[in-house]
A and B are shown apart, each in its own frame.
Chain A
Amino acid sequence: MESYRKNFRAFLAFFTPPFVWLVLFFFVPLGIIWLYSFGETEGLTKIRLTWTLENYKRLLEPEIISLFWRSVWLSVISTAVCIVVSYPIAMVIATAKPKWKPWLLLVIILPFWTNLLIRTYALLNILGTRGRLNDLLHWLWSAGDRALSLIGLGDYHLLGERFMPVKFLGEPVGVMIGLVYVYLPFAVLPIYASLERLDRSYLEASLDLGASQWRTFRQILLPLSSGGINTATVITFIPMLGSFLIPDLLGRGQVDMIANVIERQFKSGNDWPFGSALSLFLLYITFILLALQSFHAMRQRKREEARG
């Protein structure tokens, strides 16, 4: 690496275009909504900057608090499910034969390259009351019912008189299925990376010293891969919290998350200042999470250095 002073003109030639682009089309727009969040609407499209805090005060309205609360718990549960499911998946990939690894990874990554809208739409087809998932449940119900009849319990209708389709669309569970479905690949990759890097002699030592597989997993593998788990948590939680399309299509307006309300302020509600305040709030949460994550990563690196 060379100092920028040594070849200042070359430095400027490389540095200026991306810097100017980023400032003009990323930071200036963010700056504008930051200003707007202190403004008031005047008429239909005019916004006057009055440095009012009214928009931020409205974040404390019970309606908005319950919106935040719903967004957070939907994202927390979905993230947890993602992590729990992706950990074993990452374990399988990380310990597979080298010949198989790229293919197993591809299986997980490929959906991630597919259009988000199409994947959400695909789920929409599956999750309907007459969709494939309910078909599957119906089949399972019939099988269960038949099994009960076989052992002579048929008359009690333990599984109900008739199959009742489960409602997924417009319910929190449908949105959660969508969130897990879309962001699962996000969670697998960092966990896989951390398992791949791991020094396996620790596991061997633990097993050699007589610890059980479970204890080795809990006390050695899990702590050693906690960096990957943290990264996975943050990079799935952040986009989940800000997701728009999934609650929009699968929640059917019944299960709004923050982004849906933001969208309404800008598209139909026409309350740009309040929409800006909501967006900034989402942005601040993102920053805090990222800061916590990098702080944690830094501490972990230090601990590893100390360990030698």
Chain B
Amino acid sequence: MAREKREPAGPFDYSRKLSLRLVFFLGSIFLYAPIVVLVIFSFNNSRRGGNVIWKGFTTKYYEKAFHNDALMEAFINSLAIAFISTLIAVILGALTAVVLWRFRFPLKPVFEGMVSLPIVIPEICMGVSLAVFFSSFGLYVPRDMPFPLNLTNIIIAHITFSFPFAAMVIRTRLNSFNREMEEAAKDLGATEFQVFRDILLPHMKPGLVAGALLAFTLSLDDFVITFFTSGPNTVTFPIKVYSMVRFSVTPEINAASTILILITLLVTFLAMRFQSFEEPRQ
């Protein structure tokens, strides 16, 4: 034992050190405990402020959440926004990725910087600027527009912040494309469009799916930018939860949050599956 102690630990052995493991463990507890408590207390049978004392198991707040029309409407709005904005964000992201990957053009670094700007600037700045933009250009959608056209402003905002992320993911995928395939196809007489459709697009597919899942979660998650671009009649799930939280803390919010966490977990799981499909184990 004594001899073992004197030997210096190997340089790679940080993960075997108890103190570092403890930090990892405590860090994980810190990250998960609040969420776990939230989920547990969504089953708490307590009417008022349900989060203080445990009063027995119930699922009635899930029922209540499902029967809360305003909450459900917000939820459907959120899903509609996420689906539509994801679709367009992936298309724009794919185009951006192909341009950056394929072409040499003047001021390319400038364009690259422009595309990554929505990723780095504070959300509040983007939210504020879009709010001002929509109101000052009279792009405010009439109140009685049919669903989902009444959500246009929010959808535009979501596309704007999510497509650069999608472009990043898709571009990573493009880096593994074998250029010779494209040349071979062209030599055999394929047109530019055929090459894109039959060769490049199938190769991009895992990247497109990963980019779409990322855009989808980003859209579903967003609070700040939606907060500034939504009107009184276009409430999304996070906005609705926010107004409920400001009003009071109820087990119903916990139940609704738990449902959203489950959806996010599902999407993350799908994303991971595609990611591992994309990068075969070495």
A binding-site residues for B, Cβ under 8 Å: 1-4, 7, 10-11, 14-15, 17-19, 21-22, 25-30, 32-33, 36, 45, 85-86, 88-89, 91-97, 100, 104, 106-108, 110-111, 113-119, 121-126, 128, 130-132, 181, 184-185, 200, 203-204, 206-207, 212-213, 216, 238-239, 241-242, 244-245, 249, 258-259, 262-263, 266, 272, 275-276, 279-280, 282-283, 286, 290
Cβ B124 vs Cβ A106 within 8 A: no
| A116 and B98 alpha carbons, distance in the complex (Å) | 31
Q: Say whether, besides A117-B223, A242-B124, A92 and B14 are in contact (CB < 8 Å).
A: yes
Cβ B228 vs Cβ A113 within 8 A: no
Q: Say whether, besides A17-B92, A18-B92, A125-B37, A116 and B221 are in contact (CB < 8 Å).
A: yes
Please count how many residues in chain B sit with their CB below 8 Å of the partner chain's CB atoms: 85
B236 to chain A, nearest CB (A): 10
B binding-site residues for A, Cβ under 8 Å: 8-9, 11-15, 19-21, 23-24, 27-28, 30-35, 37-38, 41, 51-52, 91-93, 95-96, 98-99, 101-105, 111, 114-115, 117-118, 120-126, 128-133, 135-136, 156-157, 159-160, 163, 167, 192, 217, 220-221, 223-224, 228, 238, 241-242, 245, 249, 253-254, 257, 260-261, 264-265, 267-268, 272
Give the chain B neighbours of A122 by CB distance below 8 A.
34-35, 37-38, 257
Q: Say whether, besides A10-B192, A203-B11, A286-B120, A32 and B34 are in contact (CB < 8 Å).
A: no
Give the chain A neighbours of B118 by CB distance below 8 A.
22, 26
Apart from A25-B133, A115-B264, what are 5 other A-B pairs with CB-CB below 8 Å? Answer: A25-B156, A117-B245, A184-B31, A242-B122, A259-B124
Cβ B95 vs Cβ A29 within 8 A: no
B103 to chain A, nearest CB (A): 5
Cβ B15 vs Cβ A96 within 8 A: yes
Give the chain A neighbours of B20 by CB distance below 8 A.
88, 91-92
Cβ A119 vs Cβ B27 within 8 A: no
Cβ A181 vs Cβ B31 within 8 A: yes
For A235, the closest partner residue in chain B by CB is: B120
Cβ B103 vs Cβ A29 within 8 A: no
Cβ A18 vs Cβ B96 within 8 A: yes
